[in-house]
Every structure is written in C-alpha cells, then in structure tokens.
C-alpha cells in the first residue's frame, strides 16, 4: 500500500536532539528550554502545540534549522517542564516567550508557532511588537474554538475524566524525557505524559479566548503561513484567514493533516524551512 495522506505512517525518527536545561524567569517561575545552532545566526523561537512539548512538536525541524539559525524551544506553562501556574492563557504564554528572550539576552527574533503556538506567536507580536521581527504560522488560525458555554462545559467534563488517567500514569523521569535514542516511541510517550491530561479543559478555555481577527491587518512584519491542506482540526479555510488577513503573508502548502510536523514531517520540514528562509530574508533586507 502506498504511503500518503489517509494512510498510516510512522512518526519521524528521533535523532540529534539538543540538550535542554531549566531556566529561571524572574517573577514568573521556571521553564525548560533548548538552545542550539548557529550562535551568530538569526534567532528562531519554536512555539509548540497544545498538550505537547517544545521538543516533541519540533524535533524533526531542529536539526535542519540549527545549521543557519540560533534555535530556541521552550515548554509553555503547564506543559511538560514549563512554568507551574494556577491559570492558563495564551496572553501569559506570549509574555513567557518574551521573558525567555530577556533571560537569554535576545532583543528580537522570528516567532514560529504550530497550532496553539501559532496563536502564541501572534500574541507575542501583538503585545511586544518591537521584539518580534517575523512570524511563521503553521497549521493554525486567527481563532481556535468556541467560547459557547455548553462547549466549554463539555471540555471541562472531559478534562475531569482524564484526571483519573493522570492518577494512574507515572510521571516520566528526567532521563526518560531526555533520552530518545534506544526507545524513540517510549521517549515520545514520556513527552506526552509530562503534561497532565486532565488539563485539557483548562487549555481549551484558554485557547477559546484567543481571537486575532480584529487586528490581523495590523501585523506589519514579514509573515509566512504554512498551511496543512488536509487538516481536520484547524481546517484549511481557517488557516487561509491568516493569508487573507495579514498584509505581508505568504502561503506555503504542506500536503498533510494536523500532526504533519511529526506524522508526515518529510513533507512539513522542507516547506517550513522555506517559509523561515523567506521571512528571514525579508527581516534582513527590511
């Protein structure tokens, strides 16, 4: 059987991951970052999707991008080894990104976000416009889901049910999170279970409160939209709203679904790299 969209494919092989470390953010808490690549290259922040981690979402991309860029990943708050918090909002996540940049002495950077990370990237520009020099928005849109009370109540019920699963799942060790070489699928499972499943309702509510449509037209930095053409989570029509709404946006298509950054990464990585190069070139010549 031919491999392709709609057929089962294996996750992208795990190799060449950078070593991460915990980073204290004054007044905010402690998060987990990786920093790799060309120390003199343009800075690229990779912002991950909901219920994943910086490494799990972006591991296929990192070895390619670190040849020319200073590549930063981070775990968003309440995800993986990210900031422990009593609340969750994409606004706070965007401010956390700037706090990491401050701690690393980074003045400006390209913000690349996948799904939820795309919303965080947009907000990082909105809230700190002098710091974000370009945007690469992948499998994402200007909004995520409904804030209709019945929908959010259903998400909260799902989250409460999943807290029972959290009680029986052991927390992964640091070694399990940092060592993918012998058992890559075991490593991926450790990454997934490092975020509490019962927080799904909290994440859904935080994402539902995001809506960039009123100010998309104000985005004036070079922007690329990496559009997953077979996406059933963030439909292509919703992703296209970014292309139509952001004056500088250029579109790069990936034939794949919503998990194309890992499942189908052989198609995602080249298009993502081309999108970053396009944005980077514009930021240099601006």
Strand partners, 227: 253
Give per-residue pLDDT as tens, 41-67. 999 999 999 999 999 999 999 999 999
**DSSP code at position 279:** H
For residue 198, the model assigns a pLDDT of 86
CATH 3.30.1600.10 is held by the domain 20-144+211-285: no
Tell me: pLDDT of 156 over 70.
Answer: no
Tell me: pLDDT of 7 over 80.
Answer: no
More reliable by pLDDT, 93 or 285? 93
For residue 168, the model assigns a pLDDT of 62
Rounded (5°) CA angle 251-66-216: 30
Give per-residue pLDDT as tens, 157-197. 655 555 655 556 667 888 889 877 667 788 998 999 999 98
Is residue 259 classed as helix, strand or coil in its secondary structure?
coil
Strand intervals (E) in the chain: 20-25, 29-37, 43-47, 70-74, 109-114, 132-138, 223-228, 249-254
* pTM as predicted: 0.91
Q: Distance between CA atoms of 220 and 125, rounded to whole angstroms?
A: 10
For residue 201, the model assigns a pLDDT of 86
For residue 171, the model assigns a pLDDT of 79
For residue 6, the model assigns a pLDDT of 44
Q: Which two tokens stand for residue 235?
A: 């439909």
For residue 158, the model assigns a pLDDT of 56
* Mean pLDDT confidence for 199-208: 91
What is the Rg, in whole angstroms, of the alpha carbon atoms belonging to the chain? 18
Tell me: pLDDT of 130 over 90.
Answer: yes
**Where residue 267 falls among pLDDT bands split at 50, 70, 90?**
very high
Helix H or strand E encompassing 275: helix 265-285
For residue 239, the model assigns a pLDDT of 97
**Where residue 284 falls among pLDDT bands split at 50, 70, 90?**
confident
Q: Distance between CA atoms of 139 and 165, rounded to whole angstroms?
A: 28
* Mean pLDDT confidence for 56-80: 97
For residue 165, the model assigns a pLDDT of 56
For residue 117, the model assigns a pLDDT of 98
Tell me: pLDDT of 70 over 80.
Answer: yes
The structural domains of the chain, with segments of one domain joined by +, span 20-144+211-285
% pLDDT > 90, the chain: 75
For residue 166, the model assigns a pLDDT of 55
Give per-residue pLDDT as tens, 227-260. 999 999 999 999 999 999 999 999 999 999 999 9
**The total number of residues written for the chain in this structure:** 286
For residue 163, the model assigns a pLDDT of 62
Burial of 148 (0-12, 13-18, 19+ CB in 10 A): exposed
Tell me: pLDDT of 4 over 50.
Answer: no
């Amino acid at each position: 059987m031919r491999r392709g969209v709609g057929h089962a494919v294996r996750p992208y092989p795990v190799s060449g991951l950078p070593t991460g470390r915990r980073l204290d953010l004054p007044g905010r808490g402690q998060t987990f970052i990786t920093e790799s690549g060309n120390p003199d290259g343009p800075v690229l922040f990779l912002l991950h999707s909901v219920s994943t981690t910086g490494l799990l979402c972006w591991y296929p991309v990192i070895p390619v991008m670190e040849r020319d860029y200073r590549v930063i990943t981070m775990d968003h708050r309440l995800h993986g080894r990210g900031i422990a918090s009593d609340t969750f909002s994409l606004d706070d996540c965007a401010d956390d990104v700037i706090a990491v940049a401050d701690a690393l002495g980074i003045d400006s950077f390209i913000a690349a976000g996948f799904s939820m990370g795309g919303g965080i990237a947009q907000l990082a520009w909105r809230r700190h416009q002098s710091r974000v020099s370009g945007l690469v928005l992948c499998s994402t849109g200007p909004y995520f889901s409904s804030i209709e009370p019945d929908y959010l109540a259903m998400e909260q019920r799902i989250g409460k049910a999943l807290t029972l699963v959290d009680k029986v799942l052991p927390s992964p060790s640091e070694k399990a999170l940092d060592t993918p070489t012998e058992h890559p699928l075991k490593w991926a499972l450790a990454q997934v279970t490092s975020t509490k499943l019962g927080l799904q309702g909290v994440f859904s509510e935080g994402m539902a409160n995001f809506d960039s449509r009123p100010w998309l037209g104000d985005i004036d930095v070079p922007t690329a939209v990496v559009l997953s053409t077979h996406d059933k989570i963030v439909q292509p029509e919703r992703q296209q709203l970014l292309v139509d709404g952001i004056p500088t946006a250029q579109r790069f298509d990936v034939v794949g679904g919503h998990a194309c950054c890992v499942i189908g990464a052989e198609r995602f990585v080249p298009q993502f790299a081309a999108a970053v190069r396009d944005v980077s070139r514009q930021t240099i010549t601006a």
